Structure 1
């Protein structure tokens, strides 16, 4: 699905952001791309989308080279950036003009998603609020049924009810041959969706693991007193949030706690 071999990239007159980065991800996943500010998350998404050219190395998406921007590539990938400008057209006119570029576009699904987001198809896109524009872009992206859907900070601008609807949409609208790549700082908004976590730091993938594997190997919990064997802990109003080795039961993964632990130097197998 997504293959990166020995990728190197730097903006002009700046130090390399990526050097010899390699990654391979298959279909049927919702992947969370995490990292500190400036770690290169958005840049990596733009490279995968063909919006930036690698300085060295190779990226392929379903066998296509992104930077060539071939019709075969463009019809199977959809990228929703964090910031965007919408045209001065009504929603239904935008769909009429753009849905045809995506062979698997599902109009029934789109109408349902728009209804859930309470958007009027006669609304002019450029006159909508940022949150409404974001809802539209998410609904359109999911309706394309593209094999790769990339969402950069998708919950920014959404109110609490809309975040809940977003999670339901993503969980319910995907097929087995699709992969969704979500970059976000708002991990609490998406942690019930994510199947796998990638953590980028200093131009490298420093963590790549599935939620299932983590839940089987580690316990993420709140305790009143620190246990003797603890991998990582944080103060909490109820005591401590801790990560420990699993005791035989599966645990719900606290992605924010995991992220902080990794940045603190904790090594997860």
Structure 2
């Protein structure tokens, strides 16, 4: 009897017992480049835990998308390893694939409506939430009966975000998910993502639009000069540094400053341990403008 490759993979996924390994992403001495003479990363180390929404920041060309593709097993390291939930990402075993969903920056959807798309692809994810998917489409105001390839780019992005969340995978990776979304849709996106986080899920969002992650993420990862220069929770960051104007900050404690719309904005040592909201845009500017004082103090 002939068994198609798709049928075999589906059978393997649905009949392979899942492990009880605590979901965690771990990069160990990972080196990657599209050629050995042009490494994008060298001996990169990174650990990400479940129960967090990570914001991945970096300048254009810093390697954010490539880093995400290594985690998703879409490209393979030249040296070192990337493990997700105890699995070697590069091996792309079915037990790994059923617990990870990756939403790329550019999406290309088939000539199917939402129901047909779920029927062909949702079955590969054992915990797929059909009702949740259609509810999110309705909240995003995306018609479920239209051909997906005929939708606007923004609507296609919304379909993939809704599908990714509905998979209920332990790891959800999104590369520039807010590109193509209007302002109301970005507000909806933040609400939906925040509600999707559980203690058993790790969500990673890469963006160059820092403000889109405001009030959404709880941890920040920054890639700069081929290195992970920061991997801290916002709580850890706010305990060590504070964000204010030059008038409010003590001059001796200022680690970084730049001109703002209403004066000079500063990052300074939080000696009094007073809470201040993390200004991610200012912090990112400090890191990428070669301010060693900020990164050294935080690390």
TM-score normalised to structure 2 length: 0.86
Structure 1 unaligned regions, length at least 5: none
Does the 8 Å contact 1:224/1:238 carry over to 2?
no
Q: Partners of 1:189 and 1:14 in 2: how far apart? A: 36
Contact conserved, 1:45 with 1:150, CA < 8 A, in 2? yes
Provide the rounded CA distance (Å) in 2 between the counterparts of 1:2 and 1:162: 29
2:225 paired with 1:202: yes
Q: Which residue of 2 aligns with 1:252?
A: 277
Contact kept? 2:165, 2:172, Cα under 8 Å: yes
Tell me, in whole angstroms, the C-alpha distance in 2 between the residues paired with 1:226 and 1:173. 38
RMSD, aligned CA? 1.5
Q: Distance in 2 between the 1:10 and 1:171 partners?
A: 34
For residues 181-192 of structure 1, what are the structure 2 equivalents within 5 Å? Answer: 181-192=204-215
- What displacement does 1:2 show? 0.5
Using the TM superposition, give the Cα deviation of residue 222 of structure 1 relative to its aligned residue in structure 2, in angstroms. Answer: 4.0
Q: How much does 1:134 deviate? A: 0.4
Does residue 153 (structure 1) correspond to residue 173 (structure 2)? The answer is: no
Deviation at 1:226, TM superposition (A): 6.7
Shift of 1:191: 2.3
Output aligned runs, 1:217-232, within 5 Å: 217-222=240-245, 227-229=250-252, 230-232=254-256
Matched, 1:216 2:243: no
Residue 148 (structure 2) aligns with: 125
Asked if the contact 1:110–1:139 (Cα under 8 Å) also holds between the matched residues in 2, the reply is: yes
Deviation at 1:24?
1.5
After the TM superposition, which of the residue ranges 111-120 and 219-228 deviates more from structure 2? 219-228
In structure 1, C-alpha distance between the alignment counterparts of 2:187 and 2:268, rounded to whole Å: 30
Contact 2:224 2:288 in 1 (8 A): no
| Deviation by residue 1:151-207 (Cα, 9 ceiling, x = unmatched) | 000111000000000000000122110001111101101121111111112221111
Using the TM superposition, give the Cα deviation of residue 224 of structure 1 relative to its aligned residue in structure 2, in angstroms. 5.5
Listed one character per residue, the Cα deviations across residues 121-153 of structure 1 (whole Å, up to 9, x for unaligned) are: 101110011000001100111111110000000
Moved more, 226-235 or 101-110: 226-235
1:227 Cα shift?
Answer: 4.5
Q: Is the 8 A contact 1:17 1:202 kept in 2?
A: no
Aligned to 2:264: 240
Query: Offset at 1:49?
Result: 0.5
Q: Name the CA distance, whole Å, in 2 between partners of 1:13 and 1:175.
A: 39
Counterpart selection for 1:10 from 11, 29, 33: 33
Q: Residue 8 of structure 1 contacts residue 17 of structure 1 at CA under 8 Å; is this kept in 2?
A: yes
Correspondent of 1:83 among 96, 103, 106 = 106
- Give 2:73's aligned residue: 50
SS in structure 1 opposite 2:120? helix
Q: CA–CA distance in 2 between the matches of 1:217 and 1:12?
A: 40
For 1:191-247, what per-residue CA distance to the aligned partner results, in whole angstroms no more than 9, with x for missing partners? 211111111122211111110011122221345677423221121221122112223
Give the match's secondary structure for 2:186.
helix
Q: Deviations over 1:53-111 (max 9, x none)?
A: 11111111001111211110110000000012111111111012111111111122212
1:65 is aligned to 2:82: no
